Chains A and B, each alone.
Chain A
């Protein structure tokens, strides 16, 4: 298919999400982690909880990818990285800024080529502190 490399460097509009206690509890239950730290009045967050920031905000990353010609059900998630810089607490309002960091093509092992899309997201809290970096590598089939 081919994803146009012209999208490299594209910055998407910032998106925001306020961390809720019930969401943390729901997430811990869904992953089957009964650590009491996630169920307290002032819970810690599981390290992969930030996946909710993009999916439960108005980020619409799936629509943004679709506008680049990438359909979500044809996307494989190749790599995921979180770099936690400062603690995130319940009631924090997190703002994410996503950038298309790279687009490149490789020959597949079997048939055809695969398009790799690297997405980098930087997250700040309500005080403007950089709290988290996320790097995502997607493969469009």
Chain B
């Protein structure tokens, strides 16, 4: 379903996205995919040595979930800006809920844009990250 600029309302929520539960295996897999082999994501002994209870997710994996929230709604390839501020660590086994909201529309530039904010939260409603997004959207012909 194509998303049209005219149909987007300020304040409208993006369809919620639930991800996970995360797993140690997913962190290993994301290490390989991203190339970020920081051992606090993959080696339990190393995580404990720096004072963590277990391995933790890459912040960038959680940002990827935020990216999916936006691309599920606006389509891959339409994201013009994605910015997040990381808040809490994510452990293996956590289920995460991604939510977003349109805060602004702008058709003054080269392409019509929808601008919004998003959050990713854990089971206990703990904040993992919050962020901002800008996507390009088509206008009806």
A residues in contact (CB < 8 Å) with B:
23, 26-27, 29-33, 35, 37-38, 44-48, 51-52, 54-56, 72-74, 76-84, 87, 135
Contacts and interface: CB of A to CB of B under 8 A. Distances in A.
B11 to A, nearest CB: 23
Interface in B25-40: 26, 29-30, 32-36, 38-40
Contact of A82 (B38, B71, B81): B81
Interface of B: 19, 26, 29-30, 32-36, 38-40, 46, 50, 59-61, 63-65, 67-68, 70-72, 75-77, 79-86
A55 B36 CA distance: 6
Nearest to B64: A31
B29 A35 contact: no
B26 A30 contact: yes
Given A52-B35, A79-B85, A38 B76 contact: yes
Contacts of B34: 27, 30, 51-52, 55
